[in-house]
Amino acid sequence: MLYREAGEFKTSYQADLATFPIRFDLWGFWSVIAVAALVVPFFVNDYWEQAIFLPFFIYALAALGLNILTGYCGQLSLGTGGFMAVGAYASYKLMTSFPGLDMISIVLISGAITAAVGVFFGLPSLRIKGFYLAVATLAAQFFLIWMFNKWGWFYNYSATGMIAAPERTMFGFAITGPYSKPAVTYLFCFAFLFVFAWVARNLVRGRIGRSWMAIRDMDIAAEIIGVNPLMSKLSAFAVSSFYIGMAGALYFALWKGAAEGTEAFPIELSFRVLFMIIIGGLGSILGSLIGAAFIVLLPVVFKVLFVEYWGWPTDIATHVQVILLGALIIGFLIAEPHGIAALWRTAKEKLRLWPFPH
Amino acid sequence: MSSQTVAEAAGTDREYAHQEIDHGLNPRRIGDVVMEVKNITQRFGGVTAIKDVSFDILEGEVRAIIGPNGAGKSSMLNVINGFYHPQEGEVWFHGKKLGNLKPHQIARQGIARTFQNIALFHGMSTLDNIMTGRLTKMHRNIFWQALWSGPAEREEIAHREKVEQVIDFLEIQAIRKTPVGRLPYGLQKRVELGRALAAEPTLLLLDEPMAGMNVEEKQDMCRFILDMNDEFGTTIALIEHDMGVVMDIADRVVVLDYGKKIGDGTPDEVRGNQDVIDAYLGVSHD
Ligand SMILES: Nc1ncnc2c1ncn2[C@@H]1O[C@H](COP(=O)(O)OP(=O)(O)OP(=O)(O)O)[C@@H](O)[C@H]1O
Ligand SMILES: [Mg+2]
């Protein structure tokens, strides 16, 4: 028997507050991190980088951001694509205006700029909720993309209207541009996801996270027991947009390398990230990661398994995939709003003390 | 009769408490006015929920607000909380006018509340729900929170210790980690009391804390309320329909009917008041 919680008695509040209270989980976690950081970089090639790892890391970061706002604070947003565009264009402007600025700072500052924009578009949330707020964020999505296409200043008046990431190096390794190695971009994005997933975990388990969840679960009661709704909602918009902005910067600068507003950051992108948190689990850090992995891997699995292995026609495989995704989203919304993460938790609870569950 | 039993149990407690006071063992003392509600009128469109109601609450007392359904009791608490903005009148707390303060600012003055229809945070565990009661006392900024280790964790642990005391006091250790949605009604009410208690309020507003409970649960709840009042000196204003309970645990009672105050005094005075008797017997208003 491998997995058990029995015998793990907590002797201090600190131990009780730990992220992985079960030693087995803690070891599992660090093994995965060690493999991801020390082993995978030696084997990662262009295909794995472009089709799996960068999309996963970047979408996971965006999903964490949206989950903080929607899953933890209960404010539905359809503006994710627009906010990713803010991060992307901010990083582009920073990279072209300040050639000396290192890539880490660029991503962080892009996140901060997006946070400010997010707070601005979050202001309506103080007056409106639910469906109406979703429509307001939808307006933000369309307004932002329109703005980036409209004003040449944002794309440095390039003839094509596209933005392209200039080359940047760090410790002598190219991070952006045509010469960047898969291992380098992989590690860079991995580090961002690792650090900020941990930060997200810290935020949601403490004072700020509880104030978000209180607003989500019962806003009136929350206010009467002392939660300032203004601070709570706007901080959720700020943190959420910070994450989504960083994801946008990485999406543009490291993954795609070049982007055009309408094409790269459409409303479909907003929905894709929303589907990730619905399938992975609303209000769950782990769920954000699982959801991102699921949506990134789904087409890959379909391609490898159905098209290449079983020889299905590509268009049929694509249709089946879309139908499956739709069914899963409806299924999760109805049956398990806390997504795969909740199924996982239930499975673990069953495993606990197996074969004597009580 | 159920209320009789509860009342008897509570009554014994009370007598005992008074004996303690006589012997100087118990600090329970009724002090000065902490809250003054002055000439409140609250209208909703055509409905006047509260009509020119005034009363006061003394430090350390258990003040009951009673009245038939729709009398305006819950509305009164919402006015005190700053959630409703009355057309006329003022609420003073510790010599300060609450005036235009927002509900969350009023909470910070030391006023906590439970709700008639349980208003717990259903996505959280018992522990997290009660921890939200301490949000007004936690101050580490977002950067410390992001880092967790260090000041934020120390703050969390310090407040966790306080919350564990509340959990022990309410005897809900076993459901600490249970999502509140899974708890039976009576326990949910108790957790909600815990959340209010965790805020260490100087004034606690309870909106029908015993509604829908069985005799045993009512007895427990009475005991918690009295203990809280005795041990921590918390001033309590409670709305309750069970007259037996009210008559026994309240020091003074305000009676509302159709938004008007029709009685105010000790339980005995109120019981003898003809208007109150009429209101409860449903004598028609004309
Ligand atoms: N937000 C509101 N909007 C409109 N009318 C309201 C509102 N709140 C209360 N009322 C009305 O005010 C009156 C008093 O309601 P309130 O809830 O204060 O009564 P109550 O004494 O608490 O009754 P109960 O014993 O049923 O809880 C009722 O007629 C109610 O319909
Ligand atoms: Mg009421």
- Which mutation among B44, B114, B206, B207 tests ligand 1's pocket best, with the greatest number of atoms within 8 A of CB? B44
**Can you give the pLDDT at residue A315?**
85
Which H/E stretch holds residue A291? helix A285-301
Indicate the pLDDT class of residue B3, thresholds 50, 70 and 90.
very low
B282 vs B286: CA distance, rounded Å: 12
Q: How far is the CA of B70 from the centre of ligand 2 (A)?
A: 7
Indicate the pLDDT class of residue B283, thresholds 50, 70 and 90.
low
CA nearest ligand 1 atom 11, residue: B49
Within chain B, where are the H helices? Answer: 2-22, 73-80, 103-108, 126-132, 142-147, 151-169, 185-198, 215-232, 243-249, 267-272, 274-281
Domain boundaries, chain B: 1-110+201-215+235-286, 120-200
CB-based contact B113 A223, cutoff 8 Å: no
Q: How far is the CA of A307 from the centre of ligand 1 (A)?
A: 64
Q: How far is the CA of B64 from the centre of ligand 2 (A)?
A: 13
For B31-56, what is each residue's pLDDT tens digit? 889 999 999 999 999 899 999 999 99
**Can you give the pLDDT at residue A192?**
97
Closest ligand 1 atom to residue B45 Cα is 4
Nearest CA in chain A to B163: A13
Report which of residues B14 and A76 the model is more confident about: A76
Q: Calculate how close chain B gets to A32, using CA atoms only, in Å.
A: 22
Closest ligand 1 atom to residue B68 Cα is 25
CB-based contact B157 A227, cutoff 8 Å: no
In a domain, A349, yes or no: no
For A283-338, what is each residue's pLDDT tens digit? 999 999 999 999 999 988 888 888 888 888 888 888 888 899 899 989 888 888 78
In a domain, A305, yes or no: no
ipTM over 0.95: no
Share of chain A above pLDDT 90, in %: 61
* Host domain of residue A178: 43-266
In a domain, A205, yes or no: yes
| A243 pLDDT more than 70 | yes
B173 vs B166: CA distance, rounded Å: 10
| B13 pLDDT more than 70 | no
Instruction: Look up the CATH superfamily of B1-110+201-215+235-286.
Output: P-loop containing nucleotide triphosphate hydrolases (3.40.50.300)
Q: How many domains does chain A have?
A: 1
**Can you give the pLDDT at residue B41?**
96
Indicate the pLDDT class of residue B18, thresholds 50, 70 and 90.
low
In a domain, A299, yes or no: no
All residues with CB under 5 Å from ion ligand 2: B 74, 116
**Can you give the pLDDT at residue A221?**
95
Contact call for residues A298 and A325 (beta carbons, < 8 A):
yes
In a domain, A311, yes or no: no
| Nearby residues of B77 by Cβ (< 8 Å), 6 or more positions away | B65, B113, B205, B207, B237, B239
Q: Which residues of B touch A217 (CB under 8 A)?
A: 120-124
In a domain, A80, yes or no: yes
**Can you give the pLDDT at residue B276?**
84
Within A44-181, where are the H helices? Answer: 46-48, 54-66, 80-97, 103-122, 130-150
DSSP-assigned states of every residue in A219-283: HHHHHHTT--HHHHHHHHHHHHHHHHHHHHHHIIIIIISEE-HHHHS-HHHHHHHHHHHHHH-TT
Closest ligand 1 atom to residue B84 Cα is 1
Which residues have any ligand 1 atom within 6 Å of their CB?
A: B 44, 47, 49, 67, 69-75, 116
Nearest CA in chain A to B196: A225
CA nearest ligand 1 atom 25, residue: B69
Choice among A1-15, A167-181, A217-231 with the minimum mean pLDDT: A1-15
What pTM was estimated for this model as a whole?
0.90
In a domain, A96, yes or no: yes
In a domain, A308, yes or no: no
**Can you give the pLDDT at residue A62?**
98
For A98-156, what is each residue's pLDDT tens digit? 998 999 999 999 999 999 999 999 999 988 888 899 999 999 999 999 999 999 999 99
